[in-house]
Structure 1
Amino acid sequence: MAGEEVVIPGFRFYPTEEELITFYLKHKIQGTHELLQDINRVIPQLHVYDFYPWDLPQQAGERCQGDPEQWFFFIARQEKEARGGRPSRLTSSGYWKATGSPGIVYSLSNRAIGVKRTMVFYNGRAPTGTKTKWKMNEYKAFQEESSSNTNQKPKLMEELSLCRVYVKSNSLRAFDRRPSGVTINEQPSVPQPLSDQSHYSSDDQTVSHPHSTMESDDQPLWDWEELKEWF
């Protein structure tokens, strides 16, 4: 129909976790002027806890409009977080509950670039809420990338988080499906952050690598007791 954008099957916004952290999140926090307009067009800033998760697709950026699987948002740090408290993840009739421990996200060059944690949405109120298929990955960036062979603890860029909201699915097109035969020693392709891509990213791994096919044998650089203060 006239005036409607035709979306060609197979062309989608599929950034890797490395691109989400080092390009989108860092440039957004740093306020890189020449990139902000494009970044805001692709990933809007939104307090996602003001919405039911199933209403979030309508709030997504233009590259994710009509996507049936995943939607991306920047979330500003809450005032209580700035004062050292824990963020509130309550909606009007539900809540997001963290699952597992936060994990380190690594770049292709095996440098720690940020932290990811996964959450599940529950209807109702804890502890009797009903689990749904809606999930969220929350990413925070490190100020400086850290080599895997150092014990130096990096600092987080706290101003913003980047979240990927999605529906847990058993479909072969699910975001967390990995191509067979891909290893972490694979040579990186040249990233094209603002173009449609077909990259795959990890989902609920403890140690996350953009091209790993299973949980990495590497141990996190910092244990949960050190990381939990960030959440």
Structure 2
Amino acid sequence: MAEQQPLRPGFRFYPTEEELVSFFLLNQLEGRNPEGMRRVIPVIHIYEKEPWNLPQLAGDQCQGDTEQWFFFVPRQENEARGGRLSRSTDLGYWKATGSPGYVYSSDHQVIGVKRSMVFYLGKAPTGRKTKWKMNEYKAIDRMPPHHPSNSPAVHRLRHEFTVCRVYVVSGAFRAFDRRPVEANLDRHGVLRPIHQKGRMVNVSRTPKV
């Protein structure tokens, strides 16, 4: 095996949301491992860990980062059997904030769904809010172009892996933090059209405002 190159001074891993979903997460879902990918996004069951312990588990090329860390998270066994995903740790829990949002490609196609969360210390619903936050991304399972049900309204999510961005609120605004357009999911994780002012919006394109 070829020796891996050392980390360059000043290196920072700042992928866009499109890169996270369409390159990193897609390669993970398809069983491909481009050189160096695990050095920036390792596979970790992060919901079994307290958030302040996650930075030391980050990829070796992101160990020195003080702002954000990325992880591939496998689907939990109970979730695979139809149960609910548990986001509780020994000392607290992750709570979703707002509604899920779409992640778009550069050509305005829906490629994934993003959920934002905050970590609370203690037991729900009386936990104490912390500065630890997370964005959880799932990829769209696209059907073949000739499939009779090939419509943006029926694309399902891939659940084998998610990619999560864990970060600490610093008060500084970054472009990465901009929320996407609100997603409309049913209880099966199916994307549904968004209705705005009496008309249906095709979720494969950027909604007009």
- Per the normalisation by structure 1, the TM-score is 0.71
Task: Assess if the C-alpha contact under 8 Å between 2:26 and 2:139 holds in 1.
Answer: yes
- How has the CA–CA distance of structure 1 residues 145 and 167 changed in structure 2, closer, same or farther, with 3 Å as cutoff? farther
Structure 2 gap ranges (5+): 1-5, 145-150, 191-209
- How has the CA–CA distance of structure 1 residues 230 and 86 changed in structure 2, closer, same or farther, with 3 Å as cutoff? farther
Q: CA RMSD in A?
A: 2.2
The residue aligned with 1:168 is: 169
- How has the CA–CA distance of structure 1 residues 24 and 145 changed in structure 2, closer, same or farther, with 3 Å as cutoff? farther
Percent same amino acid at aligned positions? 54
1:122-168: CA deviations, max 9, x gaps? 0000111000000000000012299xxx6432121110000000001
The residue aligned with 1:60 is: 58
Amino acid corresponding to residue 69 of structure 2 in structure 1: W
**What is the CA distance between 1:108 and its match in structure 2?**
1.1
1:169-198: CA deviations, max 9, x gaps? 113xxxx423xxxxxxxxxxxxxxxxxxxx
Structure 1 gap ranges (5+): 179-200, 208-219
The residue aligned with 2:3 is: none
The count of aligned residue pairs is: 179
The residue aligned with 1:18 is: 18
Q: Within 2, Cα distance between the matches of 1:62 and 1:177?
A: 23
Task: Assess if the C-alpha contact under 8 Å between 1:105 and 1:114 holds in 2.
Answer: yes
Relative contact order higher in (CA < 8 Å, ≥ 6 apart): 1
- List structure 1 runs of 4+ shifted beyond 6 angstroms: none
Equivalent position SS for 1:161 = strand
Match of 2:174 among 164, 172, 177: 177
Equivalent position SS for 1:230 = coil
The residue aligned with 1:127 is: 125
The residue aligned with 2:147 is: none
**What is the CA distance between 1:54 and its match in structure 2?**
0.7
